Amino acid sequence: MSAPYCLAIADSAGHPVGGKAEGLRRLLDLGLPSSPAFALVGADTELSDAEFAEVLRHYEALGGGAVAVRSSALGEDSEDASFAGQYETVLNVAGADALRAAIGQCLTSARNARSAAYREARGEATDVAMTVVIQRMVDAFAAGVLFTVDPVSGRRDRLVIDAVRGLGE
């Protein structure tokens, strides 16, 4: 395995970044707005001081302050599976110590009992590659999910939006 590295979401095409990061890049490719973000690729355990220094450089390029630290596993979302809620996202993370801890939570969530049981029930490998997305927080009025296939009926000619006030925690 190669050493962990960071890259801007806009530059992530062709890299193994997982579902959330890929979705963010596609939004940017379509010219749609998204808060600035970068991906930490290839980390599977606690980062060394040198690796974390690279993360901090990218974090500071975002302007520091509050960020969302989001898991983005390879194969987490597909036609056959949705890992929604299986992996960790930590919101309103500010400062180096909190950022390091939040990255650790996301990486650890790749091996938690809940996600391992889901993968095992699906007959998938118990090991998963996890990318971590660090994205500038926005002061959201509402948060939600857009389903491009109706999750109840399976109809593909219907979009379903599920939204709540606030950050959607």
**Closest CA relative to residue 132, chosen from 54, 64, 42:** 42
Determine the pLDDT at residue 11: 93
Residue 78 has a pLDDT of 47
pLDDT per residue as tens digits for the range 5-39:
999 999 999 898 888 888 899 999 999 988 999 99
Q: Where are the beta strands (DSSP E) in 42-115?
A: 67-73, 89-93
**pLDDT tens digits along 64-92:** 999 999 988 765 554 555 555 567 889 99
What distance in Å separates the CA atoms of residue 116 and residue 1, rounded to the nearest whole number?
A: 21
Task: Find the Cα–Cα–Cα–Cα dihedral 131, 154, 148, 15, rounded to 10°.
Answer: 30
pLDDT higher than 60, residue 44: yes
| Dihedral in degrees, nearest 10, Cα atoms 168, 10, 150, 139 | 20
Taking residues 51-57, report their average pLDDT: 96
pLDDT of residue 136 exceeding 80: yes
Q: Mean pLDDT over residues 103-121, rounded?
A: 76
With a pLDDT cut of 70, the percent of the chain lying above it is: 82
User: The whole model's pTM is what?
Assistant: 0.81
Query: Can you give the length of the chain in residues?
Result: 169
Gyration radius from the chain CA atoms: 16
